[in-house]
């Protein structure tokens, strides 16, 4: 890997939403061969998050935007989140769908104290709403586990895109 730490963090620091500390720790841990593929780097970063403890994990989850939420409407999402939400058609919600997302976002955040997170790639709006409605009924521990699983999936998808744009250096 030929990137120095600042270059590495600049390139991979956004893989986990607003959480460059994960890329910094991955670099500091010595990437070796794991850093040469999306899967390898994903495994390294996943291990860092899983070892970070619940406070850091909750901060990571809370760094994510609501689906079809205010930040999306205001155009204030990260480029990655904008692309992912648009890819699932969330930028074309009907008024009814948008209202449903707002209701679900509020209920979910009130119950779990972090936003609903789903790696939306491959899903359509109606499917996302169905998943959302089912998950809001989970208990907190189940949902914490599922939200982290989804965050790791998002990170892997983002790493894969970065790798396709140019080999890890």
* Residues involved in catalysis: 64
Copy the structure tokens of residue 78. 């990260």
CB distance 108 to 116 below 8 Å? yes
Nearest by Cα to 138 from 117, 155, 120? 117
Q: In the Cβ-directed half-sphere of 115, how many Cα atoms lie within 13 Å? A: 20
CB contact at 8 A, 67 and 105: yes
Determine contact, residues 115/64, Cβ cutoff 8 Å.
yes
Please give the Cα distance from 8 to 1 (Å, whole number): 9
Pairwise CA distance, residues 44 & 22, whole Å: 9
Burial 146-168 (b: 16+ CB within 10 A, else e): bbbebbbbbbbbbbeebeeeeeb
């Amino acid at each position: 890997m030929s990137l120095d730490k600042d270059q590495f963090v600049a390139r991979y620091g956004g893989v986990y939403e607003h959480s460059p500390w994960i890329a910094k720790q991955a670099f500091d841990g010595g990437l070796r061969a794991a850093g040469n593929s999306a899967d390898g780097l994903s495994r390294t970063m996943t291990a860092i998050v899983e070892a970070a403890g619940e406070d850091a994990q909750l901060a990571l989850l809370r760094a994510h935007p609501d689906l079809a939420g205010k930040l999306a409407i205001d155009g204030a999402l990260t480029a990655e989140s904008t692309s992912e939400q648009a890819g699932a058609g969330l930028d074309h919600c009907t008024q009814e769908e948008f209202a449903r997302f707002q209701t679900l976002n509020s209920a979910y955040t009130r119950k779990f104290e972090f936003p609903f997170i789903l790696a939306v790639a491959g899903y359509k709006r109606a499917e996302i709403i169905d998943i959302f409605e089912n998950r809001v009924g989970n208990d907190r521990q189940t949902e914490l586990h599922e939200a982290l699983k989804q965050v790791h999936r998002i990170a892997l998808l983002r790493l894969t895109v970065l790798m396709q744009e140019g080999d890890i250096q």
